[in-house]
Amino acid sequence: MKKVEVNDFLNKLLTDYLIYAPKKKEGKIKVSQISDKSEIDWSGDLPLNSFKVLFLPTVEELGTFEKNKFIENKNAPRPKVAWCLNILDLQAFTLFEHVFEKDVYYQKRRKNTYVVGFSNGLPDDFRKYKAFHQTFEEDILEHVCFDVFIERQKNNNYLFFAGSDKGQDLLESNGVNDFENIEFAGLVPEKGMNPRLVSNREAVAISQNDKLWDELAEICLSCGKCSTVCPTCFCFDSFDEPGADAITKKRRWSSCFYSEFSETAGGNKELDSIKKRLYFWYYHKFVRIPDELSYYGCVGCGRCTKVCPVGINIQNNLQRLQKSKK
């Protein structure tokens, strides 16, 4: 297919759905709502933020307590399209699909959202992250979740793929009939997880007493910016908001870098130092998630490094832990 057919497909979607896509403004690419296809950044470079806010809002109303009865919030989110997710963000989305598989609030948003991936080749700002290097095989689409995927080829032709029944319906109902169906084949390829990621898991698992954490703790502000932009961070806390006639239960994003994150009844804090919180964050991504799901807890996007106000670089840290392991 040609670009004009991609544009025709997108124009039809714009009439029926809210579209969220990478948008460049003042030199920065961010995931934003768009009203015209001309606003989309097609470079394939990673947006500074991620698409996770579409599925896990920063603050979300879960329901209300009225007369000792909990009434679940059943308002259906407006139908939307997450457009132009590259492979790294699709891998992060795939993690969310499994973590929130039984979360009714997530599933309600997922049901009303179409996920459209896009490939323009490997993004330039990803190539320098050798500590996360992966081989992007031809069958990579079989191991990520999506509804529609569009691949731009060197001859400027476009290939369409459907990764779900709803994706197939979306294509066909909007005049796209030339596409290939991709069947999800599980989180991990038959040959297993990427060897470098396995090596990172081993390096982090044995590093609790490494001097690196003391050094990072001296400069880390524990601000949580890294977990805010991270596409795989999904921690939240819930709270009750009293009103005149009812109490509203909400949940909001949280971060293991916040001092109160691990606080329990009686005021005890398991993660009572920045050093412990730093190690906990790395351990969760590189050890706990791979152990529980055999999947990536970090997709190597490098967003955390870009936003860190004190210059903590996850790539450098992993390389140092690798050397310590030897």
What pLDDT is attached to residue 135? 47
What pLDDT is attached to residue 152? 87
What pLDDT is attached to residue 189? 81
Residue at which a domain ends, from 181, 216, 246: 181
What pLDDT is attached to residue 276? 96
Residue 250 sits in the same domain as residue 299: yes
Which regions of the chain does DSSP assign to beta strands (E)?
Answer: 18-25, 28-34, 59-66, 69-72, 80-85, 113-119, 148-152, 158-162, 180-181, 236-242, 247-253
- The dihedral through the CA atoms of 99, 105, 107, 111 has a sign that is negative
What pLDDT is attached to residue 106? 96
Could you tell me which of 56, 123, 37, 133 has the C-alpha nearest to residue 85? 123
- Whether residue 225 lies inside any domain: the answer is yes
Residue at which a domain ends, from 181, 213, 246: 181
What pLDDT is attached to residue 132? 47
Dihedral Cα 145, 148, 153, 155, nearest 10 deg: 180
Residue 127 sits in the same domain as residue 48: yes
Residue 173 sits in the same domain as residue 200: no
Q: How far is CA 65 from CA 104, 141, 142, 174, in A?
A: 18, 43, 43, 42
Residue 164 sits in the same domain as residue 221: no
Residue at which a domain ends, from 156, 181, 206: 181
What pLDDT is attached to residue 124? 53
Name the pTM for this structure: 0.91
H and E: helices and strands count for the chain: 11, 11
Structural domain range at position 236:
195-325
Q: Is 247 helix (H, G, I), strand (E, B) or coil?
A: strand
Residue 17 sits in the same domain as residue 48: yes
Bridge partners (DSSP) of residue 21 are: 32
Residue 156 sits in the same domain as residue 234: no
pLDDT tens digits, the chain, 326 residues: what are they? 888 899 999 999 999 999 999 999 999 999 999 999 999 999 888 899 999 999 999 999 999 998 888 999 888 889 999 999 989 999 999 999 999 999 999 999 999 999 999 987 555 555 544 444 444 455 789 999 999 999 988 788 899 999 999 999 999 999 999 999 999 998 888 877 778 888 999 999 999 999 999 999 999 999 999 999 999 999 999 999 998 888 999 999 999 999 999 988 888 899 999 999 999 999 999 999 999 998 889 999 999 999 999 999 999 999 999 998 76
Residue count of the chain: 326
| Packing angle, helices 314-325 and 211-219, rounded to 10 | 160
Residue 147 sits in the same domain as residue 212: no
Residue 16 sits in the same domain as residue 164: yes
